[in-house]
Amino acid sequence: MVVVHRARFVLSPGAAAVTDGAVAVAGGRILSVGSADEVLASVGPGAVVHEWDGALTPGLVNAHTHLQYSDMAAVGLAAHAGFEAWMSAFMELYPVPRDWGASAAAGAALALRSGTTTVAEIVTDAAAGSAVHDAGLHGIAFWEVLGWTERAWDERGERTVRAQLAALPATPAIGLSPHAIYSLDTAVIRDLARLSAELGVRQHIHAAESAWEDAYVRSGTGDLAERWRANGRGEFALLRDGGVGTGVIRYLDDLGALNPSTHLAHGIYVDAADRALLRARGVSVALCPRSNAVIGLDAPPVAAYLREGNAIAVGTDSLSSSPSLSPWHDVAALHDIARAQGYAADDLHARLFAAATIGGAHALGMDADTGALRPGARADLAVFPVSASTARDALAELVEAGPDEASLTVVGGRERWTRTPGHDRSSAGV
């Protein structure tokens, strides 16, 4: 069966906007995209037509999230003075017994309501491992690896992680998330890079999120270093040997962790040399500005990333550090930050729209299949209410003040969320 979704505007990164446009879908794939008249003529009579009052776009890609923390929203709704204060608040709630599977499922439902069709989901507790699969979302479930010393890793680490990965649902896809440079020993990060390449899975790493990390990796000093020593991690090489004298990005590169199959989260505390290295290695950065603000961190250097041509994506992080799971809300924050940082070019709306769609798909290695509306691509799409009367203004409205919820979310051709069940349906040619 052919289904045609018709909308006031059709917007896709890198393509001209279409007023009174449509997308034809069959077998989970996009058949055609264009003006409503052209698309309806191409499918002929018998197609089911859904008419929407809004802007039809590719499904959003949330390139960094932890859905399992969805019932820890009390932490994300508060304001914190810095990373240490946020971490203390988080650790007060994290050990409390809870149903991680139900929490992750609730987060997945919120993602669908937001118009998200693809996620980079970090899974820390096994009970949350099937949420992406069960919700019918596309993306990657990244198994989070943290806390391993070199000694413990040599004894049982790789065997343990292989078993943990094998326990995750095979679909949509699995990956490895070495948590951060401060939560894994140096040799472990190096070995995880090797293991991910051997298994053919992608990596996703928190990096340059807090200023603490820089002192930690350069000299093994600072508040973060002392916290970890107090927690029994003094044998980590960075702490034992007094750091390595480089920043976070160079350190990860020296360990072989930076390559086109890895993307980073946050990337706040980076300089021009760091950004150039990320470009050279083909590494995308998922920016999570609202999470950074809640935690009390600096804003990411959005304007510099844009001017210099770095590959960027958008992430919401979790409800434990962000007020919602709507990528549009982070896009709006990035827009305001970029302007405040002096980015004056008139392509800002288009570039941030691309970051939330094809940019996220690229970060996950899925841009050949999703993130843009084109024939043959997977039918991942969403419709959002807009009040604008022109396509240009509709794009600006979405980027600067995107809605909490989509009117429609379609994943692989299947309607996963519909806010307006009474929308018009008809048959083409009738």
Q: What is the mean pLDDT of the chain?
A: 95
d(CA 397, CA 388): 7
Token pair listed for 108: 């997945």
CA distance 415 to 138: 13
Name the residue with higher pLDDT: 87 or 58: 58
Domain 3-57+373-427 has CATH 1.10.10.10: no
Residue 339: is its pLDDT beyond 80? yes
Domain map (residue ranges) of the chain: 3-57+373-427, 60-363
114: left (phi over 0), alpha (psi -120 to 50) or beta: alpha
Q: Are 79 and 404 in contact (CB under 8 A)?
A: no
Q: Residue 79: what residue type? A: A
Write down the number of H helices and E strands in the chain. Answer: 19, 16
Contact of 56 with 357, CB cutoff 8 Å: no
Q: Tell me the percentage of the chain whose pLDDT exceeds 90.
A: 87
- State pLDDT tens for residues 364-422: 999 999 999 999 999 999 999 999 999 999 999 999 999 999 999 999 999 999 987 55
- Do 277 and 254 meet the contact criterion of CB atoms below 8 Å apart? no
CATH architecture of 60-363: Alpha-Beta Barrel (3.20)
Rounded to whole angstroms, the Cα distance separating 143 from 240 reads 27
Contact between 141 and 166 (Cβ < 8 Å): no
